[in-house]
Amino acid sequence: MPIASPAASVALEGFELRVLHLPLVSPFTTSFGTETVREVIVVRALTDGGDGWGEIVTGASPLYSSEYTQGAWDVALRFLVPALLERGTMAPEAVAEVLAPFVGHRMVKAGLELAVLDAALRSEGRALGEYLGSMRDRVPSGVSIGIQRDPAALVDAVDGYLAEGYARIKIKIKPGRDIADTAAVREAFGTIALQVDANSAYTLADADTLAELDRFDLLLIEQPLQEDDLVDHATLARRLRTPVCLDESIVSAKAAADALALGSASIINIKAGRVGGYLEAVAIHDLCRDAGIPVWCGGMLETGIGRAANAALSALPGFTLPGDVSASNRFYTRDIVTEPAILEDGHVRVPTGHGIGVEIDPVALDDFTVARETLTR
Ligand code: NPG
């Protein structure tokens, strides 16, 4: 269902942007590379109703998508923030429309929109979850595990996360690190909820290999082919018994509708950053729900800001599969919020405080900041 009751308008007085470097507890390897530090941009909207916080989930390099930190920084300060400040007073629902003339840069738009939304909801004393249409007070928590040294090391890693209580395991795969890794996990742990993520590492020529995954009864295979391969994904989906789920390809509600019409996916991963914001994310949720397509919330190694918002989004009724909404300590020893997400009985709680429902730890924020810029009206 669309947002039941719109948020208040706020007068925008300025935006502070910071680049943060957060060390990861262990290296995170995907088919596109290894990260040891999460580089992220934190947004603070300065408004007449108080501050609001958002997060731009671009990484240091354009490897997952075309967006990356320095590009995001430039487009935000040169075009997007000035456009918002020029408009002055607005409801959060108008942010996307003000930014629509600027092509792409969805992660930047999402971070700016979240900051304005947080400020507006805090000023009204409303929680983001309630605003978005959350139906649950906690959500099952899945964990995403990077490619390890070898299958034995992967089994050890999975063992540790299962012991912590994670409700679902996702492993990263790439050509040459797929069948044996998946077989090792399935053999070691039996019928656990298991899925794989290829991050676009294959082509249709790999269909025979990917079909070998069918014997492992996976929940899904995520984004096997390139971002713009909707037709090839449809061809592959007809060939596989494992459900195909799209991540990188789903950049908007329109892209989701196209993918469903073509039969490119039977499950969709929703990430607010990738689609341009939490409101577009709700629109995708709604259209998938109407079509009977399960969705789940993806993760981008968010700080406590995005992690809180993702928990709220994941509590919408169409999120019927566990998301990559893990505890903060899955990635970080120290977060930038005072109450980082924790795992309780395999679940993460949906914050109930005003706005995103978590408070910033100003000392941690300063400690991780490597660049900072403020634009005011
Ligand atoms: O739990 O936040 C998390 C990480 C989930 O695997 C995860 N994210 O491809 O979905 C992905 C991957 C990712 C992370 C992609 C960071 C890009 C940047």
Q: Which residue has the tokens 């995907």?
A: 30
Measured from the CB, is residue 326 less than 6 Å from ligand 1? yes
What burial class does residue 192 get, using C-beta atoms within 10 Å of its C-beta: 0-12 exposed, 13-18 middle, 19+ buried? middle
Q: pLDDT, tens digit, for every residue of 289-302?
A: 999 999 999 999 99
Q: How many CB atoms lie within 10 A of CB 75?
A: 18
Q: Report the percent of the chain where pLDDT is more than 70.
A: 99
254 is catalytic: no
Domains identified in the chain and CATH numbers: 10-125+360-376 (3.30.390.10), 130-349 (3.20.20.120)
Whole-number Å distance, alpha carbon 300 to ligand 1 midpoint, is 4
Atom number of ligand 1 nearest to Cα 63: 17
Q: Taking the chain, what is the end-to-end CA distance rounded to the nearest angstrom?
A: 35
Q: Is the confidence at residue 28, as pLDDT, over 60?
A: yes
- Contact call for residues 153 and 146 (beta carbons, < 8 A): no
- 36, 55, 139, 144, best to mutate for ligand 1 pocket (most atoms within 8 Å of CB): 144
Name the closest-CA residue to atom 3, ligand 1: 299
Q: pLDDT, tens digit, for every residue of 216-247?
A: 999 999 999 999 999 999 999 999 999 999 99
Distance of CA 352 to the CA centre of its chain: 20
Chain mean pLDDT for the chain: 97
Q: pLDDT, tens digit, for every residue of 114-134?
A: 999 999 999 999 999 999 999
Q: pLDDT, tens digit, for every residue of 323-349?
A: 999 999 999 999 999 999 999 999 999
Q: Is the confidence at residue 1, as pLDDT, over 60?
A: no
Whole-number Å distance, alpha carbon 93 to ligand 1 midpoint, is 27
Whole-number Å distance, alpha carbon 4 to ligand 1 midpoint, is 30
Measured from the CB, is residue 16 less than 6 Å from ligand 1? no
Q: b/e map of 42-64 (b: 16 or more CB within 10 Å)?
A: bbbbbbebebbbbbbbbbbeeeb
Whole-number Å distance, alpha carbon 268 to ligand 1 midpoint, is 15
Q: b/e map of 317-352 (b: 16 or more CB within 10 Å)?
A: ebbebbbbbbbbebbbeebbbebbbebeebbbbbbe
Q: Report the percent of the chain where pLDDT is more than 90.
A: 98
Q: pLDDT, tens digit, for every residue of 74-108?
A: 999 999 999 999 999 999 999 999 999 999 999 99
User: What is the mean pLDDT of the segment spanning 151-165?
Assistant: 98
